Amino acid sequence: MSKRPGTPPGVSTALTKRAREDSPAGPQQQLIAISSGNDDKQKGLIRTVKRTSSLEAPIVSLAGAHGGEILSCRFDPTGQNIAACSTDRCVSLWRTYPPTTNYGFLTNVHKTAITDLQWSLTSSQLYTVGADGLLIMTDLTTGTRSRKIRAHRGVINSLDRTIAGAAGVELLATGGDDGFLKIWEESDEGKKAPVATYDFGCPVTSVCWSADGTHVFVGALDNEIHIFDLRKGELWKESLGGHTDTPTSLSLSPNGQFLLSPSLSSQTIIHDVRPFAPNPTRIHRVLTGVSAGFENALLRGAWSKDDGGRRVAVGGSDRTVTIWDVESGRILYKLPGHKGTVMAVDFHPKEPIVLTGSKDYTMLLGEIEPGIGI
């Protein structure tokens, strides 16, 4: 028996595992080569990483549509489409899945910057509000405006919608710099008067419906989160405190029991809004690690939906998105990729995908890998 010949000089002895030719990497897999060297020829280990979504890549950039800062971006209720609005007064519409294309662009929807948008829960309408004080409803089947309401005397900062009552009526809530919360009914009758109005005496920065559609949570410049009872037309005596600066946005958890509220103090609070909360302060978690910056931007937060709300995310002035585990309060991810302040965040309704919009005029779709974080 002869000895095995030695390895010639200059040839790597790294172990290489070949991918089986009869099992090519499909859309849910990706081959990754790992090496400590810079030479591709020296990469020794090839392993298969299971993809967690149906995106065409782990990170997808949505760029080229807008010429201004992205102020809000959201998935539609099915998760198949994305809408984004910008300071350039336009709305862009995108496909979530391959081919991820910009299939619609609504120009000059408002006279000034579009500050927020929402997809209708019952129809093909898209709701937008802007710095011109207008609430506009656009029919996406035709791309034409169906209703225009002069809702506020100044900038409208926030918009939310819900289904209320057994009849399935869709209600809209808007809050603006004029200090008013206003409730609107979506209908084809052309009615332009609000269902309810309340004057807070200071700018309203954020609004969010309760799960049953009977109350509206309202963040204002007084650092408090007020609770407006739509049935009685008045505020609750009790408000949600804890912030030392203005809350920038409000988002309700998928189970309707907790409320996420980032603030200009760089502190994010999760409030317990159940009828009988064990903590009298109603503060469930205090989250840190995100930078609000000096721009006084109204940064938006979101809850994950594919796992029932185990994670929350908020963008920051450090050009990253911070994602926390709700129960432990631990930071799971600091997602980079943007070149400006991340203004808007949304989670896909069915898959572990996070959508972000930034002041760098772009959006990113990111696939969240389980067990991977910081």
Identify the residue with better confidence: 275 or 19. Answer: 275
CA 208 to chain centre: 14
Q: Cα separations (Å) of 65 from 88, 135, 180?
A: 10, 23, 33
Distance of alpha carbon 73 from alpha carbon 150, whole angstroms: 23
* pLDDT tier for residue 373 given thresholds of 50, 70 and 90: very low
Res 51: pLDDT:
81
Nearest C-alpha neighbor of 71 from the set 261, 300, 317, 264: 300
The residues, any chain, with a CB within 8 Å of residue 323's CB and separated by 6 or more, are 311, 312, 313, 331, 332, 333, 334, 335, 354, 368, 373
Percent of the chain with pLDDT over 70: 84
Distance CA 266, CA 45 (A): 42
Nearest Cα to Cα of residue 115 among 192, 176, 186: 176
Q: Compute the radius of gyration of the chain from its Cα atoms.
A: 24
What does the alpha-carbon distance between residue 133 and residue 147 come to, in Å, rounded to a whole number?
14
pLDDT for res 55: 92
Choose the weakest-confidence range: 24-28, 122-126, 257-261, 301-305: 24-28
- What string of H, E and C letters represents the secondary structure of 168-224? CEEEEEEEECCCEEEEEECCCCCCCCCCEEEECCCCEEEEEECCCCCEEEEEECCCC
DSSP letter at 248 equals -
Where are the chain's structural domains? 114-340
Specify whether the CB–CB gap between 179 and 202 falls below 8 A. yes
CATH 2.130.10.10 fits 114-340, yes or no: yes
pLDDT attached to residue 49: 59
**What is each CA distance from 183 to 152, 157, 173, 180, 347, in whole angstroms?**
11, 14, 5, 10, 26
Distance of CA 352 to the CA centre of its chain: 13
Give the model's confidence band at 177: pLDDT under 50 very low, under 70 low, under 90 confident, else very high: very high
pLDDT of residue 369 exceeding 60: yes
Contact 260, 272 (CB under 8 A): no
Which residues are within 8 A (CB) of 39 and not within 5 positions of it... i.e. 6 or more apart?
Answer: none
Query: Whole-angstrom Cα distance, residue 160 to residue 216?
Result: 9
Average the pLDDT over 151-178 and give the result: 93
Q: For 56-88, write each residue's pLDDT tens digit.
A: 999 999 999 999 999 999 999 999 999 999 999
Q: With H, G, I as helix, E, B as strand and everything else as coil, classify residue 314.
A: strand
What's the order of all strands across the beta sheet hosting 81-86? Answer: 70-75, 81-86, 91-95, 102-106
Task: Give the Cα separation of 284 and 124 in Å (integer).
Answer: 36
The values of phi and psi at residue 250, to 5°, are -135, 140
pLDDT tens figures, 198-256? 999 999 999 999 999 999 999 999 999 999 999 999 999 889 999 999 999 999 999 99
- Coil vs helix vs strand at 357: strand
Give the pLDDT confidence score for residue 12 in this predicted structure. Answer: 44
- Summarised one tens digit per residue, pLDDT across range 135-153 is 999 999 999 999 999 999 9
Q: Read off the pLDDT of each residue in 15-37 and give the average, rounded to a whole number.
A: 44
- Residue 1 pLDDT: 47
The pLDDT score that the predictor gives to residue 274 is 93
Separation between Cα atoms, residue 327 and residue 253, nearest integer Å: 13
Q: Quick check: pTM over 0.75?
A: yes
Instruction: Tell me the sheet residues that pair with 162.
Output: 171
How do residues 29-53 score in pLDDT, each as one tens digit? Answer: 554 444 445 565 555 554 555 788 8
